Amino acid sequence: QVQLVESGGGLVQPGGSLRLSCAASGSIGNIYFVNWYWYRQAPGKQRELVATITSGGSANYADSVKDRFTISRDNAKKTVSLQMNSLKPEDTAVYYCSLGGAIWGQGTQVTVSS
């Protein structure tokens, strides 16, 4: 059984930075061929896709976070990270990592407030 555990959330002031990490454990098989995703869900809103990194290392971002967020993966460590810079109050949400769109972490809260 594969499990994902996120870490790195917290409270930060506008303009600040946070780095989220997500680690996979269990019988994963060949993680090299699977895409990773970061989603977020703000109160009262639908879950939205924030960033994707493909098996080949190509990254894609939602327009709202482009040029501020960076997704990266480490296949050897079975992790994915999301570096978030220039954070805005509208980035406040629970952030979820997903492996292949089928396995989900429990979520980590990010709050951007002064």
Mean pLDDT, each 10-residue run in order, the chain (114 residues):
93 98 86 92 96 96 98 94 98 97 95 97
CA distances 57 to 36, 62, 71, Å, are 10, 17, 9
Beta bridge partners of 104: 98
**What SS3 state is found at 84?**
strand
DSSP 36-54: EEEEEE-TTS--EEEEEE-
User: Residue for token digits 């990266």?
Assistant: 72
Contact 41, 94 (CB under 8 A): yes
The predicted structure's pLDDT at residue 29: 74
Closest Cα partner for 9 from 91, 114, 98?
Answer: 91
Looking at residue 79, its pLDDT comes to 95
pLDDT at position 32, please? 78
Query: Under a CB-based contact definition with an 8 Å cutoff, are residues 105 and 98 in contact?
Result: yes
Residue 5: Cβ within 10 Å count: 14
